[in-house]
Amino acid sequence: MAKIELIQGDITKLEVDAIVNAANKTLLGGGGVDGAIHRVAGPELLAECKTLNGCETGEAKITKGYKLPVKYVVHTVGPVWHGGNNNEPGLLAGCYKNCLKLAIDNDIRSIAFPNISTGVYRFPKEIAAQIAIESANEFLKQINKFDKVYFVCFDEENFSLYQKKLSNS
């Protein structure tokens, strides 16, 4: 099975086949990791995103990486947390599964995920980490075409949560 690896740092600096962008529904850039990815990739990323007609929550779309050190950016829209009664966990799991499926469809062998929905979308970090790890493990048990799947945590809190949960999975 593909090895899951945890990294603390800046996802825009990773040299992998694809990084995942925690985007908003327009795919036209925003704050957090979305803004950082658009800034590093350059205006060509925005131009390609404009042709995609947005993206629904839990779904994923793919673009080139442009000035990023990756071939592709897989864009996904995580759910905004409203207390957990609006299928937020299912939608977040869908983000991971749909990104991995799109990666397989594009012969991507290494992919890096940020902490989807845990910033301005207020998804509880501990629940989000559990969903991310379970979703990736479940997918990789069924389809093992990846060399590496990375979880990239920008902050110490998420890094510690993922470290603890990965050691228990």
* pLDDT of 169 strictly over 80: no
- Angle, CA 99 vertex, CA 98 and CA 102 arms, to 5°: 85
Whose CA is closest to 23, among 117, 130, 138? 117
110-113 and 148-153 beta bridge pairing? parallel
Residue 168: per-residue pLDDT: 83
Quote the distance between the C-alpha of residue 121 and its chain's center.
14
What is the span of the domain harbouring residue 143?
3-168
- Which backbone phi and psi does 114 adopt, to 5 degrees? -85, -175
Number of domains forming the structure of the chain? 1
Query: What is the C-alpha to C-alpha distance for residues 98 and 58, in angstroms, rounded to an integer?
Result: 7
Convert the pLDDT of each residue in 86-112 to its tens digit. Answer: 999 999 999 999 999 999 999 999 999
Convert the pLDDT of each residue in 18-76 to its tens digit. Answer: 999 999 999 999 989 999 999 999 999 999 999 999 999 999 999 999 999 999 999 99
34 is catalytic: yes
Q: How confident is the model at residue 5 (pLDDT cuts 50, 70, 90)?
A: very high
CATH of the domain at 88: 3.40.220.10
Which letter does DSSP use for residue 79 in this model? Answer: P
Q: Active site residue: 17, 34, 107, 147, which one?
A: 34
